[in-house]
Amino acid sequence: MAKDGVAALPNLSALVGREVAARLVEQAGGLASLARLSGVALRHLGLDAASQFQRSRHLHAGEIAAAPVFVEFFGADEVRADDMQAAKKAVAVLARKCSIAAKADLAGGPATGALGAAELEKVRRSFEVLLAEGKVNATDTQALPVPQVFVRGEEAKKKRGGRREFRKQQAQKDAPSALERAVSHVKMGVSEEEQLQSLMQRSDVRTQLLKGVTKAPEQRKRPREADTEEYDDLLQIRL
């Protein structure tokens, strides 16, 4: 692309550099065609030509992967395995920003590239966050527990759960008393007083209530007074 054509891309050049901006416009067939592309289509521009490079195949990105801001954070060579997920997200972010910059250049306006510079700062902050969140920590790399292996001669480990265990637990529960069963049944359309009277007429309910009545605590003996001597009772006995 000619120099005057590159000068017509102030925002896109400020975002991804003059060379990458020129190659993107050339791959798309013009600035108008580039502005109509979505972020996904824009990131794939030049992918066929660069498919021989393993880095481009892993990132699913073409010319945009050579942008200076992307190389600054993820390098020009192979991306590290722990940064690969963050690099893929970074390519998607940069492609969306390039689409915005291309639309701004197509619409015209001041050739200062202020919009592209502002978007570049946003991209830098996004890349920093992606690298910080994409690191694999110790909790992500913990080994799985060793599976239980049965060895001949050892006692088999009992399994938990299952229908048989559920029926066993249900059988071990205490059976409801006659009073609980009677109270659990409620008759619709009958007042509470009538239901209570009918319950009190049942012999099993009365027996259960009598069993639940607690005995009154026995009264403790009155303590002796402090001035009472120990042998006063013996002195009062007549010989």
pTM of the shown model: 0.51
Cα–Cα separations (whole angstroms), residue 217 to 126, 208, 214, 220: 76, 21, 9, 9
Structure confidence at residue 50 (pLDDT): 46
What is d(CA 35, CA 62) in angstroms, rounded to the nearest whole number? Answer: 17
Per-residue confidence at 223, pLDDT binned at 50, 70, 90?
Answer: low
- Residue pair 154/46 in contact by the 8 Å Cβ criterion: no
The predicted pLDDT at position 84 comes to 79
Predicted pLDDT at 139: 53
Do residues 66 and 47 make contact, with C-beta atoms less than 8 angstroms apart? Answer: no
Residue 233 pLDDT: 59
Domains detected in the chain: 10-136 (1.10.246.90), 163-214 (no CATH)
Q: What digits encode the pLDDT tens for the residues 151-208?
A: 777 776 666 667 777 787 777 776 667 667 777 777 777 787 887 788 778 777 777 7
Longest Cα separation, the chain? 143
pLDDT band at 4 (very low <50, low <70, confident <90, very high): very low
Residue scoring higher pLDDT (237 or 96): 96
- Over residues 73-101, the pLDDT tens digits come to 887 777 777 777 888 888 888 988 889 88
pLDDT in tens, 104-133: 888 886 678 888 889 999 989 988 888 887
